[in-house]
Amino acid sequence: MDVTTQLIRHVLNSNLEAIPEQAIERAKLSILDTIACAIGGSNDPIAR
């Protein structure tokens, strides 16, 4: 079994209630930060 399959199985078998609220909030902020950086940098000449 490859690493990708192992990761997918782990995620699918995870219990959302077992994840601490602080970790969920941090993940949300990280995703928003990534999106904001992508949008902000999309008009930069080096990105083209």
Amino acid at position 14, single letter: S
Q: What is the DSSP string of 1-48?
A: --HHHHHHHHHHT--GGGS-HHHHHHHHHHHHHHHHHHHHHTTSGGG-
Residue 44 is predicted with a pLDDT of 85
Considering only CA atoms, which of 31, 32, 28 is closest in space to residue 19?
A: 28
Is this prediction's pTM over 0.75?
A: no
Average pLDDT estimate for 18-47: 93
pLDDT of residue 3: 97
Amino acid identity for residue 29 in this structure: L
Tens of pLDDT, residue by residue over 5-32, are: 999 999 999 998 999 999 999 999 999 9
